[in-house]
Structure 1
Amino acid sequence: METTRCALDGWIEAIPAPGPHGTVTFDLVVRPPDADSLLDDAPDTIISCTSDSPPITHKLLNATDPGALVRATGTMIQPQTPGENAHLTIEALEILDGLEPKPRAGRYGNYYALFDFDAGTDAVSVFTAGGRWVGLADNVHALTALIDIDQRVNGGDA
């Protein structure tokens, strides 16, 4: 497995998702430095990224929005199968040009709620702090009911 230390500038494609044990995952859209010389329909490169650094996880979940331009520094692992995304384990993250962040993640005890304001819906994705998917609340007011149900059914595993 080939690894490379690198720093990449790119855009966060979608809302970063919390993972197990305090990690965060997201896709980074990267264009080559000579992008102006490429055809207009040339595909962008998608890099799958993760980090287990608490400050980076906090920054991605609370201070960035999709479309934010960032510089991600870490270790790149090339995919073993052609056509799969390369993977970058991030050790440092710098926001180069962030869009005005919206409050889009909240912690409710051992649960995280992710708000997707750009999707034109009031739905809220809910995960345990351990990264297990709990469900989709219809709106902010339905969060408590969804969390209560999960605690009764699953013991609120975090």
Structure 2
Amino acid sequence: MNKTLNRPIRVLVAKVGLDGHDRGAKIIATSLRDAGMEVIYTGLRQTPEMVVNAALQEDVDAIGISILSGAHMTVFPKIIEIMKQKQVNDVLLTGGGIIPDGDIKKLKEMGVGELFAPGTTMVTIVDYIRDWVSTNRNF
């Protein structure tokens, strides 16, 4: 049974690589804030290293990657690799954007959490993050 946290959930929202479209990421960040979460938005053109370092510095519960560029099969595995190197084992890596179903399956097998397609309701995303954090980081 999930328990309510006695603190706000902290989420890092990031755009990695040359993907220059961040309207969706900003909408997600605002919606997560509206749901009571603390959100750090890194802005455009981040590297996987910058994302993981920011997640460590900000002591986040979850990292959300917004990706529309088609580089998801490079970006997510690189972030996972860096998270393992830095022993970031208890932070949710999730995201969304334009990702084919077959690639979603492969990424989830590598350890990525849920990946959300355009049109997913904010309630679905908020509930997923809340449930994951309350189950895996309830401290």
Fold equivalence (TM over 0.5):
no
TM-score, normalised to structure 1, is: 0.24
Larger radius of gyration between Structure 1 and Structure 2: 1
TM-score, normalised to structure 2, is: 0.27
Structure ranking higher on relative contact order (CA contacts 8 Å, 6+ apart): 2
More helix by share: 2
